[in-house]
Amino acid sequence: LRGAVADATDAACERDRDLCLHGPPVAASRARLVEEVRGALAGAGQGSALVRVATAADPAPAGSILYVVPLDGACVLAFQYDFGEPVTDAVVGTLPGGGCLSG
């Protein structure tokens, strides 16, 4: 999954260098990157992934691109804030109700 997301964000940044150049994406770019990541994960067979811009209530820096992929009894949680840096990811347990993120 990390590779699919990295390929998608790299391609988006290549098409529009201002999209990801040096530091966190600007607000308008975030929505485009969310769509790129969502499409990449769907293409990798993970259409149930949740992809959004992280808020202060999320387990990622506010403003980062956050994605969560449910797996059997676990979740892959990942985010990218600075597009000059690698994706940060972890496999975590589900919430008591079985989901991966609240809200």
Question: What does the pLDDT read at residue 21?
Answer: 56
For the stretch 60-84, pLDDT in tens is 888 888 999 998 889 999 988 776 6
* Signed CA dihedral, 84, 61, 64, 47: sign only: positive
pTM reported for the whole predicted model: 0.80
The burial of 65, by beta-carbon neighbours within 10 Å (0-12 exposed, 13-18 middle, 19 or more buried), is given as buried
For the stretch 51-60, pLDDT in tens is 998 888 998 8
Q: In angstroms, what CA-CA distances link 99 with 23, 26, 28, 33, 85?
A: 31, 29, 29, 24, 28
Q: Could you give the CA distance from residue 43 to residue 37 in angstroms, rounded to a whole number?
A: 10
